[in-house]
Amino acid sequence: MPTEPPIPADAWTLVVLAAGLGTRFGGRKQLEPVGPSGQILSDYSLRHAHLAGAVGCVFVIAPEDEDTIRSHHGDQQLGGPIVYVHQRMDRLPQGHTPPDGRVKPWGTAHALLTALPLVSGPCVVVNADDYYGPNAFQAARDFLASTEPGHPAIALVGYRLGDTTPPSGPVSRAIVSQKPDGTVESLVEVTGISAGETGFTGFDGKGGRSFTGRELVSMNCWALTPPVYSLLEEALQRFLDREDDLLAAEFRLPDAVSELANVAGVPVQVIPGGDRWMGLTHPGDRDGVRAALLAVERISCS
């Protein structure tokens, strides 16, 4: 595996999180061919990131997926290298070891930390099983271009809840609350979100909740400056120190970002750009995503 950052420090890197188990989907949804020419969803992120100026990409993968993903994407795109790194269970701070019996990855924030030793400059982070649309990457690029790289700063591309809740089954989303200046006040994980006759319902840690569908949510499309990286390492240490059930607990990006905003004082900006999303959560999502991508390709070729 590579040990030195392969990307120039004055460029931004795309980081694709592709190590999930796909439990609800029933398999590796990050490898599911859904495009009209057999594209997987990360093909679109690579294309749109390239148009927005990314140089190089780091894929965070499960070891057993490396041959498949590497043969699909190759080792060179975006005007730079594509490198692959394994999300290992034992990639933990000194003094910590994974508990016996843990098989699930540590979560999206841990996956990002796995990639960051290969990233020299700012980065944009996305999931491999989501389609974000070209505007999301352009918005993230503009944020990074307007932000001092020596200062810790984070942006999330916000999407409307109603645009990210497929009819195939319930989903989990991080609901965004904003301060008057537009920065993030909190990111609350809500599970079991589904559409009803008059809106949406779901469950947070306090019970049932209702939503209009206009609420902003995070779909794990983030832009980060380099000083954030060491702060994430510190947040992982605190996560491991405080969690009682390390067999199941996950170090998720929305939770980690909320902590950095509220504990470390890192400004987390919500930026527009989430105008079109699609993704794979349940097996029933396949047909809808395929039809939507076919329409996208027709429009782009017209």
pLDDT at 76 over 80: no
Q: How many CB atoms lie within 10 A of CB 44?
A: 22
pLDDT of residue 296: 84
Tell whether 4 is covered by a domain: no
- The CATH number given to whatever domain includes residue 266 is 3.90.550.10
Tell whether 7 is covered by a domain: no
Tell whether 17 is covered by a domain: yes
Tell whether 186 is covered by a domain: yes
Three-class secondary structure assignment of the chain: CCCCCCCCCCCCEEEEEECCCCCCCCCCHHHCCCCCCCCCHHHHHHHHHHHCCCCCEEEEECHHHHHHHHHHHCCEECCEEEEEEECCCCCCCCCCCCCCCCCCCCCHHHHHHHHHHHCCCCEEEEECCEECCHHHHHHHHHHHHCCCCCCCCEEEEEEEHHHCCCCCCCEEEEEEEECCCCEEEEEEEEEEEEECCCCEEEEECCEEEEECCCCEEEEEEEEECCHHHHHHHHHHHHHHHHCCCCCCCCCCHHHHHHHHHHCCCCCEEEECCCCCCEECCCCCHHHHHHHHHHHHHHHHHC
Q: How confident is the model at residue 216 (pLDDT cuts 50, 70, 90)?
A: very high
Over residues 190-219, the mean pLDDT reads 92
11, 56 contact by CB (below 8 A): yes
pLDDT tens per residue across span 153-180: 999 999 999 999 988 889 999 999 998 8
pLDDT tens per residue across span 30-45: 889 999 999 999 999 9
Measured torsion, CA atoms of residues 259, 261, 265, 268, in degrees rounded to the nearest 10: 150
Q: How confident is the model at residue 205 (pLDDT cuts 50, 70, 90)?
A: confident
Over residues 130-139, the mean pLDDT reads 95
Over residues 80-98, the mean pLDDT reads 90
Q: How confident is the model at residue 301 (pLDDT cuts 50, 70, 90)?
A: low
Q: How many domains does the chain have?
A: 1
In the chain, the percentage of residues whose pLDDT exceeds 70 is 93
Residue 223 tokens, joined:
């832009």
Over residues 109-135, the mean pLDDT reads 95
| Lowest mean per-residue pLDDT among 1-5, 102-106, 211-215, 246-250 | 1-5
pLDDT at 77 over 60: yes
Q: How confident is the model at residue 19 (pLDDT cuts 50, 70, 90)?
A: confident
pLDDT at 26 over 70: no
pLDDT of residue 136: 96
pLDDT at 8 over 80: no
Q: Which one is predicted more confidently, 80 or 236? A: 236
Q: Which domain holds residue 217?
A: 13-301
Q: How many CA atoms lie within 13 A of 239 on its CB side?
A: 25
Tell whether 2 is covered by a domain: no
Convert 172-189 to b/e letters by CB count within 10 Å (16 or more is b). bbbbbeeeeeebbeebbb
Q: How confident is the model at residue 55 (pLDDT cuts 50, 70, 90)?
A: confident
pLDDT of residue 255: 92
pLDDT at 2 over 60: no
Residue in this structure with the two tokens 């105008």, named with its chain if needed: 275
pLDDT of residue 1: 47
pLDDT of residue 128: 94
Tell whether 111 is covered by a domain: yes
Spatial CB neighbours of 194, under 8 Å, sequence gap ≥ 6: 165, 169, 170, 171, 200, 201, 202
Residue 228 tokens, joined:
């954030």
Tell whether 47 is covered by a domain: yes
When the pLDDT of each residue in the chain is averaged and rounded to a whole number, the result is 89
pLDDT at 262 over 80: yes
Q: How far apart are CA 150 and CA 10, in angstroms?
A: 12
Tell whether 292 is covered by a domain: yes
